[in-house]
Each structure stands twice: as structure tokens, then as C-alpha cells.
């Protein structure tokens, strides 16, 4: 369901016993006016920092009513999944226990202080949150030559992609890659791992025990598949102790794009149209990226 204007309805419902259609009928019956409904259902559990998990109805535009913006993980009842993490202070940052913190975004010009408009500034590492790595990340000669995120191929970042579940007790090794049986011709794969189950991207403290590609897994992928876009669900495509060798294997050819820190919670495995767009940061070896999956 989407958001409609509302007045003076303050309701909290458990949605586990109610599908969206009966919920809508119920709301319609008890509200004299049209209603606002957070876009969630029991099929897509809540994500921290959102109104999901409970239905929140509040007055909009009437007297002392409170405005509540929509925040969605899923659109059109599962046709579109947002697989990008929100930038919030609790977001984990590489090798830090502090997370992103409060100060990455600030209101530089404020209407409350007399400015004609609100205008914010931000400061954050380009490898923060859901982001893409360019070849210059681990190859200084590529960096110098300009293989930055602006040089990445948008046709690889957009197109059919496979979301697969990796065996939960393992890093992504050659053996695991072989066992996944990803057919030739598949050029984009998002690997969902134990990191998603452990909800590591929702934990402020960076966790070195995340899983990722071991060097032999990266080699196997590069030599035995047609995969040119690798997506993972924590801050690095490589297991912590293989951080350098795995990246070197992936980035050496300049043909493989790495998308890291994806939000793959509650998305059924399968084939989707992937749409990812990085910022055009010239001379930057990475960029935050917005990615969605469409059925």
C-alpha cells in the first residue's frame, strides 16, 4: 500500500495476522478520512530506522497533526526491492567501533536560523555503506590512469542479476563457488551470506568475523564464470584476512565490478533486473551507490 493523506488516526497494529487487503479494509472502516499506511507486510520484516514492523497512522496537514514520511524497503508488494542501506549514524564503518556517527551530515544553512532554505552538507568516506569499488582501489597504476568510478560501465551495473544464497557456515571459497553451479552466461551475481543473517550491516561495531571471498574463491570466479558484477552483503567483497589478495584477483582485469554492503534481507533468491547507479566522482576509487532489484 502507498501513502494517502490522513487525519487524526493514531493506530498501531500487529500485521502478522492480517494481510494488506484486510488491513486496508479495516483501516477504511475505522477512519472517516483516508489513511496513511507504512509500506510493509509480514512478508517483509522491519528494518531498523523505519516505521515498518508496525502500522503507523498519523494526521497529516490538520491542526496539530504530525507529518510522517513514507520509508520503504519494498514497492508494489514485492516487485521492487531497495537493496541499499540507509546512511544513519549507527551504520558500520570499516575497522571502526564507532560507526558513521552523528557528524557525517549537518544542516549548514537552517531556516530556523533565518536562512531562506535548509541546506545540508555531508562528509563521509566513499566506501561507506552500500558502495562500489573501481579498479583504482587496489591498483595504484589504475588509480593514476583514471580507472575511477566515473569510468565504470553502466551496462554492467544495470541488467539481469542472480541473487544466490551461499552456504551459511562458510567463506566464499573455490569449493563453495563450484557448489553454487552458477551457469556460464550469468554476468551479475549478488551473494547473500551469513552476514545478512547476522545483520552485520545494522551493527555499529565493525565485525572482522564477517564472511567474504577467499583468494581461491575469487580466482575460481574469475577463471570459471562469466560474472562481471559481484555483489556482497558486508563492507568488503573479501574475507577480512584475504582482503588484499581477493581484491587484487577481482580488480586486476578491470572487467569485474564490486558492489559491497548490499541490503539483501528478506528478498527471495532468484533472477531480477538489477539497477545500480554510482555518483560520477572523478578520481575516486569508490562511490556510494543506489541499487534496486526489480522483478
* Contact set with Zn ion (CB under 5 A): 127, 133, 260, 286
Considering beta carbons, is residue 9 or 262 the nearer one to Zn ion?
Answer: 262
Considering beta carbons, is residue 262 or 286 the nearer one to Zn ion?
Answer: 286
Closest chain position to Zn ion (CB): 127
Centre a 10 Å sphere on the Cβ of residue 49 and count the other Cβ atoms it contains: 15
CB of 291 to Zn ion, least distance (A): 14
CB of 41 to Zn ion, least distance (A): 33
CB of 123 to Zn ion, least distance (A): 17
Considering beta carbons, is residue 148 or 260 the nearer one to Zn ion?
Answer: 260
CB of 133 to Zn ion, least distance (A): 4
Considering beta carbons, is residue 127 or 242 the nearer one to Zn ion?
Answer: 127
CB of 168 to Zn ion, least distance (A): 23
> Mapped to the 3 state alphabet, what secondary structure does the chain carry?
CCECCCCCCCCCCCCCCCCHHHHHHHHHHHCCCCCECCCCECCECCCCCCCCCCCCCCCCCCCCCCCCCCCCCEECCCCEEECCCCCCCCCCCCCCCCCCCHHHEEEEECHHHCCCCCEEEECCCCCCCCEEECHHHCCHHHHHHCCCHHHCCHHHHEEEEEEEECCCCCCECHHHHHHHCCCCCCCEEEEECHHHHCCHHHCCCCCCCCCCECHHHHHHHHHHCCCCEEECCCCCCECHHHHHHHHHHHHCCCCCEEEECCCCCCCCCEEEEEEEEECCCCCCCEEEEEEEEEC
CB of 8 to Zn ion, least distance (A): 47
CB of 93 to Zn ion, least distance (A): 11
**How would you label 99-133 residue by residue, b for 16+ Cβ within 10 Å and e otherwise?**
bbeeebbeeeeeeeeeeeeeeeeeebebbbbbbbb
Considering beta carbons, is residue 135 or 217 the nearer one to Zn ion?
Answer: 135
Considering beta carbons, is residue 127 or 192 the nearer one to Zn ion?
Answer: 127
In whole angstroms, what is the distance from residue 29 CA to residue 8 CA?
Answer: 14
CB of 247 to Zn ion, least distance (A): 8
Considering beta carbons, is residue 39 or 133 the nearer one to Zn ion?
Answer: 133
Considering beta carbons, is residue 194 or 289 the nearer one to Zn ion?
Answer: 289
Amino acid at each position: 500500500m502507498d501513502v494517502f493523506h490522513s487525519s487524526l488516526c493514531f493506530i498501531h497494529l500487529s500485521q502478522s495476522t492480517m494481510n494488506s487487503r484486510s488491513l486496508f479494509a479495516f483501516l477504511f472502516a475505522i477512519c472517516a478520512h483516508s489513511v496513511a499506511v507504512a509500506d510493509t507486510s509480514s512478508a517483509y520484516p522491519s528494518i531498523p530506522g523505519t516505521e515498518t514492523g508496525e502500522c503507523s497512522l498519523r494526521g497529516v496537514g490538520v491542526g496539530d497533526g504530525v507529518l510522517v514520511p513514507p520509508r520503504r524497503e519494498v514497492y508494489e508488494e514485492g516487485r521492487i526491492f531497495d537493496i541499499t542501506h540507509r546512511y544513519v549514524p549507527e551504520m558500520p564503518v570499516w575497522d571502526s567501533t564507532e560507526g558513521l556517527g552523528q557528524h557525517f551530515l549537518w544542516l549548514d544553512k537552517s531556516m530556523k536560523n533565518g536562512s531562506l532554505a535548509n541546506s545540508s552538507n555531508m562528509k563521509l568516506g566513499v566506501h561507506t555503506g552500500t558502495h562500489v569499488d573501481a579498479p583504482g582501489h587496489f591498483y595504484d597504476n589504475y588509480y593514476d590512469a583514471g580507472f575511477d568510478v566515473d569510468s565504470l560501465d553502466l551496462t554492467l551495473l544495470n541488467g539481469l542479476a542472480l541473487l544466490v544464497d551461499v552456504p551459511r557456515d562458510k567463506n566464499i571459497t573455490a569449493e563453495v563457488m563450484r557448489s553454487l553451479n552458477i551457469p556460464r552466461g550469468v554476468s551479475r551475481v549478488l551473494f547473500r551470506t551469513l552476514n545478512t543473517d547476522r545483520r552485520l550491516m545494522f551493527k555499529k561495531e565493525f565485525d572482522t568475523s564477517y564472511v567474504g571471498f577467499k583468494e581461491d574463491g575469487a580466482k575460481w570466479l574469475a577463471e570459471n564464470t562469466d560474472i562481471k558484477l559481484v555483489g556482497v552483503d558486508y563492507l568488503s567483497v573479501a574475507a577480512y584476512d584475504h582482503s588484499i589478495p581477493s581484491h587484487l584477483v577481482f580488480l586486476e582485469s578491470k572487467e569485474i565490478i564490486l558492489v559491497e554492503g548490499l541490503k539483501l534481507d528478506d528478498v527471495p533468491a532468484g533472477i531480477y533486473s538489477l539497477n545500480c547507479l554510482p555518483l560520477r566522482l572523478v578520481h575516486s576509487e569508490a562511490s556510494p551507490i543506489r541499487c534496486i532489484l526489480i522483478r
